[in-house]
Amino acid sequence: MREVASAQDLVESLWHAGDKLVVVDFFSPGCGGCKALHPKICQLAEMNPDVQFLQVNYEEHKSMCYSLNVHVLPFFRFYRGAHGRLCSFSCTNATIKKFKDALAKHTPDRCGLGPTKGLEEKELLALAANKDLSFNYTPKPQPMPAPAVEEVGLAEVPPPHSILNLPLPLPSTLKSTQEIEDKTLVSAGR
């Protein structure tokens, strides 16, 4: 289990993990629940050598935790390759089964399609916007899809009357303007 030194360290650790499962443990040395749970998390880390366990000390990285919306401790996030964040939750000794279940669900070897994702775009932007952190991030420009060029020949354009396919009214059903005005005057009480 390795403690994260900075926001940059966290981002790079997730990026370099590739398709490996990464568990991020947000903790505080003064948190009773964190202290009680720590030996079990260490034991699970030893039992799962193919999983990378990272720790983020809340007391040393409050700004980063705030930017990542971590407000409850102990708090865990699971990440994998192109999938990015798989799940996040808080748990205690009493609810350690939640952690074990998430570990069992996400531990099987999986191959992600696409590049490693790591933190979500909004999380990276929040870290970059936080003036207390020395983390720089420039959003990657999203490529604009090129508009499809269609060549429409005259033979392909349907005739105007077939566009709506509505029946035309018969001449006997058309009412004169005078009939419509007479009914309007009667209904208005004139």
Tens of pLDDT, residues 19-62: 899 999 999 999 999 999 999 999 999 999 999 999 999 999 99
pLDDT band at 163 (very low <50, low <70, confident <90, very high): very low
Half-sphere exposure of 48 (CA within 13 A, CB side): 23
Residue 150 has pLDDT above 80, yes or no: no
Mean pLDDT comparison of 100-109, 110-119, 129-138, 140-149, highest-scoring range: 100-109
Q: Is 34 a catalytic residue?
A: yes
The pLDDT score that the predictor gives to residue 142 is 64
**What mean pLDDT do residues 150-170 have?**
51
Half-sphere exposure of 56 (CA within 13 A, CB side): 29
The average confidence (pLDDT) of the chain is 80
Helices (H), the chain: 7-16, 32-47, 62-67, 96-106, 121-129, 160-164, 177-187
Q: Could you give the 3-state DSSP secondary structure of residue 81?
A: helix
The pLDDT score that the predictor gives to residue 33 is 95
| Catalytic site residue from 34, 65, 91, 111 | 34
Q: ∠ CA 87-91-93 to the nearest 5 degrees?
A: 145
